[in-house]
Structure 1
């Protein structure tokens, strides 16, 4: 197949969406498909490059004022149109409903190309302080969802990584055919392994204390401040490793100093995948206090390495973390509860081991190979049905112009029907389940 992936977030940007889009592009290319990626450049020039068998087209952009590293392209309508016409993709898969996504969707309609949109966004990702504001937060959330749903309803198919994420779209008016399709995890790469003292030495981490791992962007909505408060309150002599960076890093470092826990917390910044895998295997526990995740790749990777997880009971995290099975869920923002749960797990090695085994069983349902099979099936069906509908419309137009032309053939043409979740081998549609309540 000929697949075009459109995203405003792609490596070298670090984060969940760049990881998902890069993974899909390279995995499809490795399966023998032709793949094009449309993404912003990191400067004022357009860049065209072959990266890991993927043809990446980057268009000139500037940095988003309120979100470091996020780029805004300079409305490349004609270049994107020419690219779509020249490459003639069977499917266009949009991962960002902003500049490039909107351009691709508008052009796809005129060029008769089917569009799949995957939603990775929550209003709180824009700014937690604005969304939680009692006066304007609700209005901003409504405006954001109104825009997002309008975008999604113009697509041939819509997906979200979890049932929770999909239900949020249904609750706000999604009408397009849709399904929950996991981002997936490479279970050949992410596996349990032996404790590695050398990796601890390399990053200056203590070898004589349990290691708590947190991997997530250091931004306000990820609530790392709650985790730091918990570290100050817990009784167990453990050490916290924070992986990644972000706009809240300076504030979090100041919090560590104010709490006088500098000897119990390490800011590791960006860590290479190979080293991060060893860090997971050398940790006892993974903690994620975020209130803005629609799945969490970092949590999935930790589970695949056999770690128990403590997570905030917020949005889609409970779909991965089952309370008292593979970890604990705590009330969002409650650092006292979080501290107590960390103490319980680190004080009971057998319980940690059992919960780690449960993590492996739960994450097995997110095997990347199965997820790619689902995507390929969806792409193929949409492409075929879109072409059949195009032929039907041509027959209908001709029959209207010439009433006797192919009358029997037009009558016998079966109208294509874009399938919903049940036909993809997934769970029943999220719209048929009772919507989950979310902590906001």
Structure 2
């Protein structure tokens, strides 16, 4: 199948959560033998319009970051790609109806990948409504985001929840690194809320434990300073950014994974920890979908304060230590990739009926 992914920014630009998800899905589909083109702002050197990287063809729409120019040029680039399915990010918002305009003449189905950010309310409501109503299907990573996109006008039948995925085979094969009993992992940005995690640890200072914080970002310095102020810095190790393969042994050695971030369209780090056998403890946040994972996990728990988080960490210590949880096999990369392909096949077949 010939697939066109549309996302203005990619991880090569330093893009955020969706850019990483889009690239990962595109590369897994390409590894399955699909012909995948990722249409984006140019990130490679030189004046050539396309660039092949890790099995995916990257195709230039604009050379510089300009959302309006990107939307205006997008239909012409898509027409030259001639895909069977167009898979477009909902940012910039008008890229979705622009992709639909290009697809209409060729009778090509359009899928919009939708996620939310805390500043989404700044986007024009009519643009968001247009983007939600334009595509043939809307992919969302969680029920939390599904609620948002339906409020924007998407019809219930058009929305498909497809979560992030993890490498279950890699988790099973990985060694165990017992350096930490409790782990927090996430980009340490303005939504990390890592101070709640540290306050919970401070409640437990009279108990024996070791903690690790995986991730880096602008909030790291303040978190390190807070750990010192709370006098727990000798038991909290800041490990910086680690790729998933390096996180897994640490997670397999830990008993508890704590999630306190205020924003997460899907809590990928939490999913990885749960698949590694960790007991998940999530502090509920209105803009985070993390609670959805622990609500379905009999070993997990949902809390609303650092005091409750500390209590659940103590309770989790009484549970059996696991190094893999096979209940998360449906979240394996291959299983989730198959869900994308099934949706594409269904959309193409539906178009063939008319």
Q: Matched residue of 2:11: which SS?
A: coil
Q: Matched residue of 1:75: which SS?
A: helix
- Superposition RMSD on alpha carbons, in Å? 3.0
Cα distance in 2, alignment partners of residues 4 and 227 from structure 1: 41
| Aligned partner of 1:228 among 190, 198, 203 | 198
Cα distance in 2, alignment partners of residues 7 and 172 from structure 1: 20
Moved over 6 A (4+): 43-47
Q: Matched residue of 1:287: which SS?
A: strand
Cα distance in 1, alignment partners of residues 130 and 40 from structure 2: 22
The C-alpha deviation readout for 1:280-326, integer Å capped at 9, x for no partner, is: 22322211112322321111111221211111234422321138822
2:335 maps to 370
Gaps of 5+ in 1: 63-71, 127-139, 198-206, 390-440
| Aligned partner of 1:189 among 135, 160, 170 | 170
Cα distance in 1, alignment partners of residues 233 and 239 from structure 2: 13
Report the CA distance between 1:184 and its aligned residue.
Answer: 2.9
**Contact 2:170/2:245 (CA < 8 Å) preserved in 1?**
no
**Contact 1:228/1:256 (CA < 8 Å) preserved in 2?**
yes
The C-alpha deviation readout for 1:352-395, integer Å capped at 9, x for no partner, is: 43xx48x8244123233232222212212222333543xxxxxx
Relative distance call for 1:77 and 1:174 in structure 2 (3 A) is closer
Cα distance in 1, alignment partners of residues 228 and 247 from structure 2: 26
1:7 maps to 7
Worse overlay, 251-260 or 294-303: 251-260
Gaps of 5+ in 2: none
Report the CA distance between 1:50 and its aligned residue.
Answer: 1.1
1:53 maps to 55
Cα distance in 1, alignment partners of residues 289 and 80 from structure 2: 39
Residue 88 of structure 2 corresponds to residue 115 of structure 1 = no
The C-alpha deviation readout for 1:115-173, integer Å capped at 9, x for no partner, is: 10121223x2x3xxxxxxxxxxxxx7385666433311111111212233213322443
TM-score normalised to structure 2 length:
0.85
TM-score normalised to structure 1 length:
0.69
**Contact 2:2/2:84 (CA < 8 Å) preserved in 1?**
yes
Cα distance in 1, alignment partners of residues 189 and 217 from structure 2: 6
Relative distance call for 1:51 and 1:113 in structure 2 (3 A) is same
2:241 maps to 270
Cα distance in 2, alignment partners of residues 101 and 77 from structure 1: 5
Residue 289 of structure 2 corresponds to residue 316 of structure 1 = yes
Cα distance in 2, alignment partners of residues 323 and 372 from structure 1: 22
Q: Matched residue of 1:116: which SS?
A: strand
Q: Matched residue of 1:61: which SS?
A: coil
**Contact 2:128/2:152 (CA < 8 Å) preserved in 1?**
no
**Contact 1:192/1:304 (CA < 8 Å) preserved in 2?**
no
Cα distance in 2, alignment partners of residues 239 and 101 from structure 1: 47
Residue 6 of structure 2 corresponds to residue 26 of structure 1 = no
Report the CA distance between 1:261 and its aligned residue.
Answer: 2.7
Cα distance in 1, alignment partners of residues 314 and 92 from structure 2: 43
Count of aligned pairs: 346
Q: Matched residue of 1:113: which SS?
A: coil
